[in-house]
Structure 1
């Protein structure tokens, strides 16, 4: 078939790819983008957006229960899973159409096809069409990884399939301890499923602050989620219409569904990286420099496929910076430090900066401020739940170098706190801000008493 020429060819129409494509086009580049599945990528189609909608749905159960303490009389609530999924699908279709319209408005040519590298300066579509491109951007994201190939792995679903189940499982085992695992544990538990979370590590949310990990685990267990750490799923057996999960210690757990949320891998298989000479990093992602360029000049990569910080806003920022630098004559380097993040568990987690353990290793003097309290809303509701706030402070400069929140709206709070931390605000400056009362957020500016202080001599 006849060859075509473009200035930029983007492989993958997720958040990072779409942003790069439209910004590059706005700078005058001729841009083509290929997507083999649905425009929007992981976040919009099978990730953070549909997940957040299911999180909202799962919270109504407690809202209905709590209403009685505030004088509301509500009949027995009834939940319908197919209605939720149908409404979710309709919203995702709307967002996909909006993304597609954006590409059209910016005159980006969209091809619904798989595309692979065909040498350093070209890509080939599934129908054999070869496209020459001065610049190529790989933005194919990540894909769920189940880990060990255990007996019965064919019965296991990932988060991809969880969004499209025909019925809500009465009993489900979820293996994993990260974002996706704890979020779906809260979703299914809130919607009425009996949930068992299995994780090989000593506690959930590895890499987060230890106080956060312990607090969230306690809160999840209060909500009826069974958490088994230090074990793995060894096999999944089918017994009629029922599945039986065999754990590594021999325990057998009968369930309706088994979901693995054991991590995601960069989606690099079959992209033709070897053909073009593109190298991978030790972490399995495409190796890139600070400007997102790969080992081959003219080929770039952004987002989860690079396995740097696998968050949608990071992919968007990387895609925008790439387009401004390469096509807009405005060099931009993305700062990957102090990136705020949220876990939409129940309750939510919001964090930015150093954990207590990281700070103790990195700094000479560390001051810790923390508090735990019952949210005001829970008082009349009679709910047994507590929020947790923690500030990590550089004891020499007084800078707030870490903030960790577990509680309602933690994600919203950490976005705002992130501004202060990024601006290198000090604890004294936090303290100088007048509190807004009564709010949970006022705890950020009223913590005065140190919970812990560490000091060490400078290294010789």
Structure 2
């Protein structure tokens, strides 16, 4: 049943079934209830999905602790004293402050559980029915649910009967799971995926991180800032190969400056346990020994065993659900959102996809997803935030553009806080001056990227950005300044 046929119905009789309770699923559920539909959400782990329980919330909570330690590197410069003596160097900071990883991880898990509980409370208060279990399609308009406890355990024998849910609209929002290597299987103790790190009770003596993409860089930077010895194994020429080259160069230099070992052009072949640690073997025969290894080599969509293809849902080569810009699949009445679609692995994108899907399915006017209006952030220290077109993309499509870059070392607020590295980069159309893209490398870049995102979403010009008042002193002041650098004098 498509949006047009549903629009003519009484929406209170429209049955919506959502498989997966992550950001895409629970945001879709809230929208569907707002339209008055009958909504059932099926989730096997806990509300919030991996984003809340094992990925975004816990990782960024851990990184927040690491960020505090990283900022303490500036303590000597700022004149901060501890225990009655001056901190003269980063070594003094490290010897004065230590990390209780068991306490850190206990807080991480508690915050994730609390966030999940808050989400469940909210959607149940809105009238969404939540079913703990594994859902699969039995045709395009029917979902079969195998009950499971919230922790994934099997239910009591008396509660094991499957439930059949008829649906006018189905949303698949099942997320993804960490990828493993054929010869490096996670055991949850020494060989770990990022979902398993939060049960460590002591700092790894030497953590080997395999993979230098966003996840690998974030965790490598976090454990390095927490005081651990870290080796980052990258199969590419540099850290963060998919990001702005100037930004990636800054992060790699910061990593190395903090004592991290970065092994570029080094592909991991296998990881095996030893008596008291792990050995990672590279494709060229070299080996790296450590106490633990983190596998950060991508993720696999959770689409197997859901009956998708049998229901007419087309999957891509990697198993992702193929969707259009309003989250429709190839099967009528079935939508998909989040990491299982492979569109862009961000919680914010998943939430947008879910909201757009339900609005479209239930007959509301929607704006199709535009990834050029989506800002993304890498939570290293400093952070990297991006939005809009990259320089390579602008060159590829032949757009006439200009670019300006402003180092944050010139910003007075940065000087006050001891920030030493970072920059703001802005791309604009060379004729119209319309802002096309931006990169921010700074502490709290995730907050600073918003003005550029707003400019791109509303087709503002660099002159409009430059003429907007900013606080002095502030980091955002550099936003206006970098825009002024692109002003073109018009006679």
Q: Within 5 Å, give how 1:130-279 maps onto structure 2.
A: 130-146=164-180, 148-150=181-183, 154=187, 156-279=191-314
1:327 positional shift: 2.5
Give the aligned partner of residue 458 of structure 1. Answer: none
- Label 1:299 to 1:370 Cα distance change in 2 as closer, same or farther (>3 A): same
C-alpha distance in 1, partners of 2:475/2:116?
A: 36
Structure 1 residues 237 and 362: CA distance shift in structure 2, 3 A: same
Q: In structure 2, what is the Cα distance between the partners aligned to 1:331 and 1:268?
A: 26
Using the TM superposition, give the Cα deviation of residue 376 of structure 1 relative to its aligned residue in structure 2, in angstroms: 5.2
Query: Alignment partner of 1:160: what SS?
Result: coil
Q: Could you tell me whether the CA contact under 8 Å between 2:25 and 2:354 is conserved in 1?
A: yes
Distance 2:372 2:418 in 1: 40
Matched, 1:94 2:146: no
What is the CA-CA distance between 1:373 and the residue it aligns to? 4.0
The answer to whether residue 366 in structure 2 is matched with residue 358 in structure 1 is no
C-alpha contact 1:11 1:138 (8 A) present in aligned 2: yes
CA distance in 2, matches of 1:281, 1:444: 40
Where 1:59 maps in the other structure, the secondary structure is: helix
**Which range moved further: 158-167 or 400-409?**
158-167
CA separation in 2, counterparts of 1:283 and 1:237?
A: 27
Partner deviation per Cα, 1:329-370 (whole Å, 9 max, x = no partner): 444533333211110011100111112222122234221211
Specify whether residues 45 and 382 from structure 1 end up closer, same or farther in structure 2 by C-alpha distance, changes over 3 A only: closer
Pair 1:337–1:387, CA change in 2 (3 A): closer
Q: Structure 1: state its 5+ residue gaps.
A: 451-460
Q: 1:378 to 1:402 in 2, by over 3 A?
A: closer
After alignment, is 70-79 or 297-306 more displaced? 70-79
Residue in structure 1 matched with residue 38 of structure 2 by the alignment = 30
1:26-65 mapped onto 2 (5 Å cutoff) = 26-65=34-73
Please give the TM-score of this superposition, normalised by the length of structure 1: 0.90
* C-alpha distance after superposition, 1:213-250 (max 9, x if no partner): 21221122222222111111122233211212222333
- Cα deviation for residue 396 of structure 1 reads 2.3
The number of aligned residues is 444
Paired residues for 1:95-134 under 5 Å = 95-126=115-146, 127-134=161-168
Tell whether the 8 Å contact from 2:193 to 2:296 is kept in structure 1 after alignment: yes
Secondary structure in structure 2 of the residue aligned to 1:320 = helix
| Range with bigger deviation, 49-58 or 321-330 | 321-330
Residue 289 in structure 1 maps to residue 324 in structure 2: yes
Distance in 2 between residues matched to 1:24 and 1:355, nearest whole Å:
35
Taking structure 2 as the reference length, the TM-score comes to 0.85
Distance apart, 1:449 and its partner CA: 5.0
Aligned to 2:26: 18
Residues 1:381 and 1:426: Cα distance change in structure 2 (over 3 Å)? closer
- Asked whether the 8 Å contact 1:363–1:394 carries over to 2, the reply is no
User: Using a 3 Å threshold, how does the CA distance of structure 1 residues 362 and 139 change in structure 2: closer, same or farther?
Assistant: same
More moved, 200-209 vs 370-379: 370-379
> Post-superposition shift, 1:105?
0.7
Aligned to 1:454: none
* Aligned partners of 1:431 and 1:446 also within 8 Å: yes
Alignment RMSD (CA, Å): 2.2
User: In the TM superposition, what is the alpha-carbon distance from 1:289 to its structure 2 partner?
Assistant: 2.5
Q: Residue 299 of structure 1: which of 324, 334, 349 is its match? A: 334
Aligned counterpart for 1:443 among listed residues 465, 474, 478: 478
- CA spacing shift, 1:332–1:442, aligned 2, 3 Å: closer
Q: In 1, Cα distance between the equivalents of 2:274 and 2:363?
A: 60
Is this contact kept in 2: 1:365–1:396, CA < 8 A? yes
> 2:324 & 2:392 partners in 1: Cα distance?
29
Judge which range, 231-240 or 308-317, deviates more. 231-240
1:427 aligns with 2:462: yes
Gaps of 5+ in 2: 1-12, 84-95, 147-160, 487-491
- Distance (whole Å) between structure 1 residues aligned to residue 72 and residue 481 of structure 2: 32
The structure-2 alpha-carbon separation of the partners of 1:16 and 1:367, relative to structure 1 and needing over 3 Å to count, comes to same
Aligned ranges 1:367-382 → 2 under 5 Å: 367-374=402-409
